[in-house]
Amino acid sequence: MKKFISALTVTGVCLFAFRLAAFIPAYAQDANWQKVDETLGRKPAVSDDVRRYGFPRSDLTVTLDGVTVKPALALGGWVAFKPAHGGAMVMGDLVLLETEINPVMAKMIASGLEITAVHNHLLRASPATFYMHVAGHGDPVKLASAIHDALAESKTPLTITAPASPPPAVELDTARLDRIIGVKGQANGGVYQFNVKRRDPITEDGMPLTPVGPMGVAIGINFQPTGGGKAAITGDFVLTGDEVNPVILALRAHGIEVTALHSHMLDEQPRLFFMHFWANDDAVKLAQGLRAALDKTASTKG
């Protein structure tokens, strides 16, 4: 009798696993991702089950403290789709001019998308840029259509054009920066970028926000060379409440300006705060300051 029950148990587990395995590719096939790509006018970067679409504000010429800000430094809007609840969840961060905020927001709301934050990341930038965080659940194609129609209320480029020339080389000692920050960075559009993961799992509406980089919950650090070994830096620290002031103190002690502190989401666990920063100085010196701030967080190395 015990053997019979054991056999039934194994059979049931195997059957469940088979059905689960069958469900996952079926979902991937049911979601018309090609139609999503066509609607958004671009191909995504795919990481695990997340599809992230970039909307850089390549149409803007933004300057800050004499530095012309490259899109990859601080003007890289994005939306990410992740399978969830029989459809998809979408999260994003859109870069907008002041005059574009309300027209885009009105379209988002009319389509049933949520606005989870609107704020600055930079100070003294000309023209000033603002960042609208959005979220939604449902059919991926309908979500993509809603995002496209909302962005059409701005001057965000909705078609991809090939760059006139390859991006400039990142003229920094990137190997040394890797060692100081503690993770491997990567070049993107003339900017050297780091994604530093937190050690604690992060969820939204019970869904794990993984992979953390594409879902916007990794600590982001960007270096844009400004000549002579110097770099402009910006990005955002992803922090729990008890980490906020230790990180502020560490950044300011190393000559790095804190430019914004706010939330990006509404229902994440643990509750997170996002701290943006700016400096233009010797890249190695700034990396050491950023490392001192990272040491105040539950972040990973390597």
**Domain check: are 93 and 201 in the same one?**
no
Whole-angstrom CA distances from 247 to 80, 104, 278 are 28, 33, 14
Q: What is the pLDDT of residue 30?
A: 55
| pLDDT tens digits, one per residue of 266-279 | 999 999 999 999 99
Segments of the chain scoring below 70 in pLDDT: 1-31
**Domain check: are 108 and 200 in the same one?**
no
Number of domains comprising the chain: 2
What pTM does this model have?
Answer: 0.88
**Domain check: are 147 and 229 in the same one?**
no
**Domain check: are 226 and 127 in the same one?**
no
123 found inside a domain:
yes
164 found inside a domain:
no
Q: What is the pLDDT of residue 19?
A: 36
Q: Which long-range contacts (CB under 8 A, 24 or more apart) does 106-114 make?
A: 106/153, 107/146, 107/149, 107/150, 107/152, 107/153, 108/132, 108/134, 108/146, 108/147, 108/150, 111/145, 111/146, 111/149, 111/150, 112/136, 112/138, 112/146, 113/143, 113/146, 113/147, 113/150, 114/266
| pLDDT tens digits, one per residue of 143-175 | 999 999 999 999 999 998 777 778 888 999 999
**Domain check: are 247 and 147 in the same one?**
no
**Domain check: are 130 and 183 in the same one?**
no
Q: What is the pLDDT of residue 5?
A: 41
Domain boundary among 100, 120, 151: 151
Domain range for 49? 31-151
**Domain check: are 135 and 186 in the same one?**
no
12 found inside a domain:
no
Domain boundary among 117, 151, 185: 151
